[in-house]
Amino acid sequence: MSAEADLKAAREQAAAWLMRLDEGSIGLEEELELELWLEAHPANREALSSVARAWRMAAEAADLPGVIAARADALKSMRDADRRASRASRFGRRQAVAALAAYLLLIVTAVFYLYPDGDTYRTGIGERRVIALADGSRLSLDAASAVEVRYDGERRALRLLAGRARFEVAKDPRRPFTVTASNRVVVATGTAFSVELLDAEMRVILYEGSVSVLEDGPANQAPRHVLLPGRSRTPADRMLTPSTALIVPAGSSAPTRLEAVDMARSSSWEQGQFVFSDEPLGAAVERVNRYSDVKLSIKDPATAALPVSGTFNAGDTEGFVDGVATLYGLRQLRRGDSIILEPAAQ
């Protein structure tokens, strides 16, 4: 059996064990059986660790008004499970906490870990798409983008795999709406926002309502709110208001920041246009590449940082290249279906 199959089977067995724990106290024989299962294969502990990490991420978002009701439903089960974990001290503190966390994850979120099958919506080069989801929410996909959607009776969990998507969330306070992108999660119950993945950063633009933006961490630590730099270390989502973008760098070299955005400009891609205002050329190139088989690239960091402003038609790569090349005196090095933009002096 492959490692992936082992982990899938372990998650299914973990779910079964947690259901048994929920039904009532287990006897000594079952406690021993559970301990033997945990020791039987590394995938078993890995499954508990992964769902524990996902639960902690959901728990960090529990202060959102729409999540409070769902959290309240879980409290009694959490207390019952805590008493059972105390009796099962022979497993050690780490195993007990992991099992509790995994149980709560079944109530709050966990779709990606316990339910591997979902619907994946994709767009090709130059293609845009609008999808009506089962709960009435609307998903708008930019070109060359992909989103995985997993719904059940208690959860609405999505994952941005590539590109950019806008989410118009149908209100359902008992089923939080989560969008995972890289190692961050955006949590909402009824709002409108977009999430974009670029090589250097993740961008969240809020159109209406409010969201919580969380960052995953080591398995033995709870996820934390993405923080703004400075002494106060303010959670960024508390300052994220409509018409504002949260930019989270992929690495640790640049700080997380907030920027005011023009609502019409920020959604221009939905009408087939790029409207840039002092956009770094490198980021602009990534967006342009979603609409053309001719791929642009920049190897020089200083060139990638050049600011670009103007309106361009999506798919008009030649027009974009001619414009920025003329503006900055860049040389176009053409190799098959690719164009490298570089300083003319090179």
Q: Which of 194, 203, 180, 164 is nearest to 291 (CA)?
A: 164
Task: Burial-class residue 67 by CB neighbours within 10 Å (0-12, 13-18, 19+).
Answer: buried
In this structure, what are the phi and psi dihedrals at residue 176, rounded to the nearest 5 degrees?
A: -55, 150
From-to residues of CATH 2.60.120.1440 in the chain: 119-263
Domain 272-343's class?
alpha beta
Task: Burial-class residue 169 by CB neighbours within 10 Å (0-12, 13-18, 19+).
Answer: buried
Q: Which helix (H) or strand (E) holds 10?
A: helix 3-23
CA distance 73 to 341: 56
From-to residues of CATH 3.55.50.30 in the chain: 272-343
CA distance 62 to 276: 36
Q: What is the pLDDT along the chain (346 residues), one digit of tens a residue?
A: 566 666 667 777 776 665 565 555 566 666 667 667 777 777 776 776 655 555 445 545 544 444 444 444 444 444 444 454 444 444 443 344 334 333 333 433 444 554 556 799 999 999 999 999 999 999 999 999 999 999 987 789 999 999 999 999 998 877 889 899 988 888 887 899 999 999 989 999 999 998 988 886 665 666 678 888 876 778 888 889 999 999 999 876 688 999 999 998 999 999 999 999 999 999 999 999 999 999 999 999 999 999 999 999 999 999 999 999 999 999 999 999 999 999 987 5
pLDDT of residue 184: 87
CA distance 26 to 107: 20
pLDDT of residue 25: 57
pLDDT of residue 99: 40
**Which residues fall within 8 angstroms of residue 236, CB to CB, at 6 or more apart?**
213, 225, 226, 227, 228, 246, 248, 256, 258
Q: Tell which CATH architecture fits domain 119-263.
A: Sandwich (2.60)
pLDDT of residue 86: 47
pLDDT of residue 110: 46
CA distance 205 to 265: 12
pLDDT of residue 307: 96
Strand order through the sheet with 295-298: 295-298, 338-343, 330-335
pTM score of the predicted model:
0.69
Query: In the structure encoding, which two tokens stand for residue 212, read together?
Result: 């919580």
